[in-house]
Amino acid sequence: MLESEDPVKGAGVVVEVAPLVSTECPFPSAHKRLVRRMDWKIMPILSAMYFLSALDRSNIGNAKVAGMNTDIGISDAQYSTAVSIVYATYLPFMLPGVLLMMRCFNNKKREYLGCMVALWSLVSTFTMFANGYGSLLACRLLFGL
The predicted pLDDT at position 81 comes to 92
Total number of domains in the chain = 1
CA 67/CA 37 separation, integer angstroms? 45
pLDDT at position 2 is: 47
Range of the domain at 123: 42-144
Mean pLDDT for the chain overall: 80
The DSSP letter of residue 132 is S
* Mean of pLDDT values over 70-88: 90
136 found inside a domain: yes
Query: What are the beta bridge partners of residue 2?
Result: 15
Identify whether 53 is part of a domain: yes
Q: 89 near 144, Cβ under 8 Å?
A: yes
3 lies in a domain?
no
The pLDDT of residue 119: 87
The percent of residues in the chain predicted with pLDDT above 90, rounded, is: 12
Residue 23 domain-assigned?
no
HEC profile of 66-82: CCHHHHHCCCHHHHHHH
More confident residue, 2 or 56: 56
Q: Is the pTM of this model over 0.95?
A: no
Evaluate whether residue 14 is within a structural domain.
Answer: no
How many Å apart are CA 88 and CA 77, to the nearest integer?
Answer: 17
